[in-house]
Chain A
Amino acid sequence: MGLRPGQCVTLVRSTVKNAACYILGEFQQYGIRQDEAEVLWVEYVD
């Protein structure tokens, strides 16, 4: 889906409950649902 294993992404905007999140990888922005993000996130860095 364009996101790579081990890729570090920044959460730019998490809007209202159940809305999509706006995250930023290297040179690429993504839209992702919060429940999808919860499955993908393995490790938080800061």
Chain B
Amino acid sequence: MGGIRGLNRRIALIGNPNSGKSSLFNQLTGLRQKTGNFPGVTVERRSGAMRLPDGQEWQVVDFPGTYSLYPTSLDERVVFDVLSNPNSADFPDLVIYVADALRLDQHLLLLSQIRDLGLPVILALNLIDAAADSGVRYQTRSLSQKLGLTCIEVNGRTGEGVGLLLQQIEHHANGKQVANIAVKSYSPSSVLRELVQDIRAAVPWVTHDFQALILAHHVTELTCLEPREVVAIQTLNAKHGFTSLRAQVEEIMERFQFIDRVVAESRNRDHPPGRNTLTSRIDRLVTHVLWGPILFVAFLLFIFQAVFSWATLPMEWIERIFSELGGAVKYALGEGWLSSLLADGILAGLGGVLVFIPQIVLLFLLVALLEESGYMARAVYLFDRILRKVGLNGRSIVALVSGTACAIPAVMSTRTITNAKERLITILVTPFISCSARLPVYAVLVGLMVPAGKVFGLISYQALTFMGLYVLGASAALGGAWVFNRLLKSAEPGYLLMELPDYQIPHWRNVIHTVWSKVASFVREAGKIIILISIVFWFLASTSFPGRMAEAESRARIEASASNLSETELEARIAAYQIETSFAGI
């Protein structure tokens, strides 16, 4: 298993959360998978095609980040499920293991486990620029020798080193590269070795000792095992007195001893490790018990002010363009049903969709900036206490904020929440958050019902009302969570422990791509519905029972001549009476 299989050659991008796998995936495939600066951006596997310099095509699969083969959340399980089952459709022929160069000692645990599964691996040492900035450099040749595999320095953001990585993949594809050299990072105890041999005898498709050990750990969760194999492994576990947690601790301690030695012998440090002072200084304010939440509310207020006020001018331009286009169409084609359909049906519908693009762009842009900068992880940390009280988890804030854009990816993001009850409650309440599809409705209602004007000359009443609608949605979500927390019972403990990444300047290409893809999706999905409704409404508003429209026009003309109305007022009166008389007005 695991060899190169004809046309279905597959590379798996695997690594710890926030190690830059999706950025490297984008570099390799030319696709634009969503990236972000917090753990858990990728919650399901994504695949794309990659062409090697010699023209061979490979499938590249970007997996969610995981710390080890002992998964704690649904997104981490994705990797485990595939790697533990050689018959899985996603089982890779080659693993590109992506590791953060600055935190290599933490990131090598999973690599050492994957190596013990017998998979060919290339180590992509990512984020080398950040490591160099912190005075950390590696002798990659020494690292390669000590780990028994090929190690390439890459930068997923800039594409540096990707050419070399492609060459190595090509060497591997053509069988030129010698298989990875076996390096022992873990030797099970004699009792475990006996258990492993017995499992290998009972389950013939197991090819490596560590694979057998993984079966012992996860026997009840694996779908790739037949019922008789499950019974056999459970019997063997009992016979050998196997305790999963104890075995995990022993294994991980031993692996880290090996990793510490390898890293220490291959790493050069310009200066001793220290805090990232910029991140630390920003966090002093952003995660402060009082200023942190105030800043969060200020960010939200800023977003709604921007969405409502800054978008006004481009929205007016779009409205004017479509109004003039409609006029031009009517002028060119003359009065008639076709010009009316084009101007009042199709163009009006299209304008009705495109007019909201400035607001949608601003909303997605600002949310993307929060995600790219690393702020979202701080929001998780900050709101964990409050959210726990209503049965949610700090990580729920990612779903709730993402829900302002679209509820579907927001619900998907809950896979990082380890506790099933917290995850379910988050899923149930996320739709209460006002998504971007409701934004046009709010914009129209607020524009009609709330007067212009500003509080202290800064924030408009309309922006405040706009924010109020979102606050209403958030309150409904929290209230709903409180109710669900009372109704659902669970003894399973929840966890927060999460990495808070260093702040980084948002990568504009990623931000622009995210905004572009979301806007395109809005235009595609909401657009076709709005245009269809616009055409249906045009039809209903321009037709009635025979003779009724002409009757409405003559009634308006009689009234106009009695009241001395101008030509424009007459046209408006005719239009109003005809709409009242039409099928739409009945």
Are B385 and A19 in contact, with the CB atoms below 8 A? yes
CB within 8 A of A20: which of B134, B252, B394? B394
B295 vs chain A, min Cβ distance (A):
15
Are B106 and A28 in contact, with the CB atoms below 8 A? yes
**Beyond A2-B16, A20-B394, A27-B102, is A33–B256 a contact (Cβ under 8 Å)?**
no
CB within 8 A of A19: which of B134, B249, B384? B384
Are B256 and A30 in contact, with the CB atoms below 8 A? no
Are B497 and A36 in contact, with the CB atoms below 8 A? yes
CB contacts under 8 Å to B, within A1-27, are 1-6, 12-13, 15-16, 18-20, 22, 24, 26-27
Residue of B134, B287, B381, B382 contacting most chain A CB atoms (<10 Å):
B381
Closest B-chain residue to A29, C-beta based? B500
Chain A to chain B contacts (Cβ below 8 Å), 6 pairs? A4-B109, A6-B253, A19-B289, A29-B499, A29-B502, A33-B496
A16 vs chain B, min Cβ distance (A):
6
Q: Which residues of A contact B280 (CB under 8 A)?
A: 12, 24, 29
In the complex, A29 Cα to B497 Cα: how many Å?
A: 11
Are A18 and B385 in contact, with the CB atoms below 8 A? yes
In the complex, A2 Cα to B207 Cα: how many Å?
A: 29
Q: 0/1 per residue, B3-17, Cβ < 8 Å to A?
A: 000000000000011
In the complex, A10 Cα to B253 Cα: how many Å?
A: 21
Closest B-chain residue to A37, C-beta based? B497
Are B289 and A27 in contact, with the CB atoms below 8 A? no
Query: Interface size on A (CB < 8 Å)?
Result: 24
Point out residues on A near B: beta carbons under 8 Å.
1-6, 12-13, 15-16, 18-20, 22, 24, 26-33, 36
Q: Which residues of A contact B408 (CB under 8 A)?
A: none
**Beyond A5-B252, A20-B381, is A26–B283 a contact (Cβ under 8 Å)?**
no
Are A31 and B273 in contact, with the CB atoms below 8 A? no
Are A2 and B384 in contact, with the CB atoms below 8 A? no
In the complex, A15 Cα to B259 Cα: how many Å?
A: 34
Are B496 and A31 in contact, with the CB atoms below 8 A? yes
CB within 8 A of A32: which of B109, B287, B382, B497? B497
**Beyond A20-B384, A27-B103, is A15–B377 a contact (Cβ under 8 Å)?**
no
> B276 an interface residue at 8 Å Cβ cutoff?
yes
Are A20 and B283 in contact, with the CB atoms below 8 A? no
> B380 an interface residue at 8 Å Cβ cutoff?
yes
